[in-house]
C-alpha cells in the first residue's frame, strides 16, 4: 500500500491511497473460493459449486465487497502511519476498482486542530451572592398554589383570569383562513394565549353569549399572510369558570412530601428546595462565565464534521423538548438555526479537553460520590 498525504484548506486533509492489483485480486479470489464452499445453488451439490460459476454470477458484487473492506483497512492503516486523528468519517472519492488495475482512492477528512491554550488566569469571574428570604418563600408558596389551581364553572359574566370554553370562527375580508376556527377551545382570559383584542372582547361575556371580536394581527405576526390584517371573529361562549387556589393544608403539603401537615415543616422543605436550585443556578452562571472567558481568549478553527454532528444533536434536543421526537424528522429544522451555538459548543469541548489534558486534571472517587449525592437529592 502507498499513501500520500495532501493538505487542503484549513483542517481538511486528503489521503491518496493505492493498493497493488495483486493484493486486490488475491483477496477477490479468496472470497470467490470461500463463497463457492458455503453457497447453496440449485443444480449443484453443497460445496461443489465451481469458482467460475460463482465469478459469473456474483463476481462484480464480490469485487465491490472486497474493495470496500480493503478501502476501510487501508484508510485505517494510512492514518496510523501518518499519525493523524480524523475528526469524523472520511469522504471516499475517485475509487478505482477495475480488474487488473491497482485499487486507488482518495480519502478526504478533517483533523482536530492543534491547540495552544492562552493563560486563563486572566479570566475574571464575578460570583453571584444571594440569600433566600421569608418574602421569597412566601412568593414561592403562592406560585406552588397557582400551579395546582382548579377551575369551577360559575353563572356570571367573565372577568380577567377566568377560564372560558368557546367556539369561534375568524375571517379576513369575509374569507375564512387556516387556523382561524375552533370548537370547545379552552383559554384563560388575560393569559395571552390569544391576541389581546380577542381576549379583551370576552370580558363581561356570560355562558351562552354570542359576540364579535375585531382583531388586527401584528405586523410581525408569525403567519406572514395575516400580518397587519384586520379580522373578525364570531365567538360563542359555552362556559365561564373561575379559578380556585388550594388551601394550605395537610393534603396540599403531602403533594410535596411533607406528611405531618405542619406549615413550618412545609416552608422548611420549600426553602431547602429553593436553596438547592439557587446553588445550581449560581454554579451554572459561574460555569457560563468560565466558558465564555475561555472562548474569548482562545480562538480556534473547528472541524465542520463535528459542527454538523452537534447540529444534529441540537435538532434532536429541540424535538424532544417540544414533544415531537417520535413524529417528525429533526432534519426539517434548518441547520442555520443552530450553527453558531454548535460551533461554540464544539470549540469549548475541544478547549476543555485540551485544558484537562494539559493540566492533568483528574477526579477522585469522593468527588464523584459527592456529585452523585447532590444530583440524587433533587429526587424523592
User: Would you state the pLDDT for residue 326?
Assistant: 60
Is 277 within a domain?
yes
What distance in Å separates the CA atoms of residue 380 and residue 378, rounded to the nearest whole number? 7
Q: Residue 349 has what pLDDT? A: 95
Asked, for residue 193, whether it belongs to a domain, the answer is: yes
pTM of the model: 0.68
Could you say which DSSP state residue 159 is in?
A: -
**Do 102 and 41 share a structural domain?**
yes
Kindly state whether residue 131 falls inside one of the protein's structural domains: no
**Are residues 258 and 365 located together in one domain of the fold?**
yes
119 within domain boundaries: no
> Cell numbers of 216, please?
388586527
Strands ordered across the beta sheet of 12-19? 2-7, 12-19, 103-110, 91-96
How many domains are there within the chain?
Answer: 3
pLDDT score for 39? 86
Q: Domain residues for 101? A: 2-110
In this structure, the answer to whether residues 55 and 172 fall within a common structural domain is: no
Please check whether residue 158 lies inside any domain of the structure: yes
Which among 180, 215, 244 is the end of a domain? Answer: 244
- The residue assigned the cell 442555520 is 336
Residue 116 lies in a domain: no
- Give me the CATH number covering residue 217: 3.10.50.40
Going by C-alpha positions, the residue among 90, 132, 139 that lies closest to residue 111 is 90
Regarding whether 257 and 219 lie in a shared domain, the answer is no
Pick from 188, 217, 244: which residue ends a domain? 244
Q: Whose CA is closest to 105, among 114, 113, 117, 95?
A: 95
Residues 283 and 176 in one domain: no
104 and 160 fall within a common domain: no
Mean pLDDT by 10 residues, the chain (380 residues): 91 95 92 89 84 89 93 95 93 91 95 93 91 96 95 96 96 92 95 93 96 94 91 96 94 90 92 92 94 94 95 90 70 90 96 93 94 83
Say if 144 falls within a structural domain.
no
Amino acid at each position: 500500500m502507498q499513501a500520500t498525504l495532501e493538505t487542503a484548506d484549513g483542517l481538511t486533509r486528503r489521503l491518496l491511497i493505492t493498493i497493488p492489483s495483486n493484493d486486490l485480486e488475491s483477496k477477490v479470489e479468496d472470497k470467490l473460493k470461500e463463497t463457492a464452499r458455503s453457497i447453496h445453488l440449485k443444480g449443484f451439490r453443497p460445496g461443489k459449486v465451481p469458482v467460475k460459476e460463482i465469478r459469473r454470477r456474483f463476481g462484480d458484487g464480490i469485487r465491490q465487497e472486497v474493495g470496500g473492506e480493503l478501502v476501510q483497512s487501508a484508510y485505517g492503516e494510512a492514518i496510523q502511519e501518518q499519525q493523524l486523528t480524523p475528526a469524523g468519517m472520511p469522504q471516499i472519492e475517485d475509487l478505482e476498482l477495475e480488474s487488473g488495475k491497482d485499487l486507488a482512492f482518495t480519502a478526504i477528512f478533517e483533523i482536530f486542530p492543534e491547540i495552544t491554550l492562552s493563560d486563563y488566569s486572566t479570566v475574571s469571574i464575578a460570583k453571584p451572592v444571594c440569600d433566600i428570604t421569608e418574602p421569597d418563600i412566601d412568593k414561592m408558596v403562592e406560585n406552588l398554589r397557582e400551579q395546582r389551581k382548579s377551575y369551577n364553572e360559575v353563572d356570571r359574566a367573565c372577568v380577567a383570569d377566568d377560564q372560558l370554553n368557546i367556539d369561534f370562527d375568524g375571517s379576513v375580508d369575509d374569507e375564512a383562513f387556516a387556523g382561524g376556527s375552533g370548537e370547545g377551545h379552552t383559554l384563560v382570559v388575560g393569559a395571552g394565549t390569544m391576541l389581546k383584542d380577542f381576549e379583551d372582547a370576552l370580558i363581561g361575556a356570560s355562558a351562552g353569549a354570542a359576540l364579535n371580536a375585531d382583531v388586527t394581527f401584528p405586523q410581525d405576526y408569525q403567519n406572514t399572510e395575516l400580518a397587519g390584517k384586520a379580522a373578525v371573529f364570531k365567538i360563542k361562549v359555552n362556559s365561564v369558570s373561575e379559578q380556585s387556589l388550594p388551601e394550605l393544608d395537610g393534603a396540599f403539603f403531602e403533594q410535596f412530601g411533607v406528611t405531618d401537615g405542619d406549615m413550618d415543616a412545609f416552608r422548611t422543605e420549600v426553602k431547602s428546595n429553593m436553596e438547592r436550585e439557587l446553588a445550581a443556578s449560581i454554579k451554572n452562571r459561574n460555569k457560563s462565565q468560565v466558558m465564555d472567558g475561555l472562548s474569548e481568549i482562545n480562538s480556534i478553527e473547528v472541524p465542520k464534521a463535528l459542527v454538523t454532528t452537534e447540529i444534529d444533536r441540537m435538532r434532536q434536543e429541540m424535538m424532544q423538548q417540544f414533544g415531537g421526537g417520535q413524529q417528525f424528522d429533526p432534519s426539517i429544522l434548518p441547520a442555520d438555526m443552530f450553527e453558531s451555538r454548535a460551533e461554540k459548543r464544539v470549540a469549548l469541548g475541544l478547549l476543555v479537553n485540551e485544558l484537562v489534558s494539559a493540566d492533568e486534571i483528574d477526579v477522585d472517587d469522593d468527588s464523584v460520590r459527592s456529585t452523585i449525592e447532590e444530583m440524587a437529592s433533587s429526587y424523592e
